[in-house]
Structure 1
Amino acid sequence: FSHVSMAMTRHYTKNASKFQKIRKLKHNLAHTIDDERIDQKAQVYLKIYKKLANKERVAGGKGKEFAKSMMNTDRNLFKDKVDNDMLSLSYWKKQIRAQNRHIHAVAPGVYCTSTTCGLRTLVNLMECVDCKNDYIVDAVFAEAKRKEAEMHMLYDIENDELTPQTASESYIKVQAAERIMDDLGIDFEPVIFPDEVKNLLIPYGVIS
Structure 2
Amino acid sequence: MSLILLVEDEPQILRALRINLRARRYSVLTASTGQQALDSVSTETPDAVLLDLGLPDFDGVDVLRGIRASLSAPIIVLSGRSELEEKIRALDAGADDYLTKPFEIDELFARLRAVLRRTPAEPPPPDPVIGELTVNITRGTVTGPHGAVRLTPTEWRILKLLLAAPGQLVPRLEILREVWGPEHEHHGNYLRVYFAGLRRKLEADPAHPRHLITEPGIGYRYQP
| TM-score, normalised with respect to structure 1 | 0.30
More helix by share: 1
Of structures 1 and 2, the one with the larger relative CO (CA 8 A, separation 6+) is: 1
Q: Greater CA radius of gyration, 1 or 2?
A: 1
More strand by share: 2
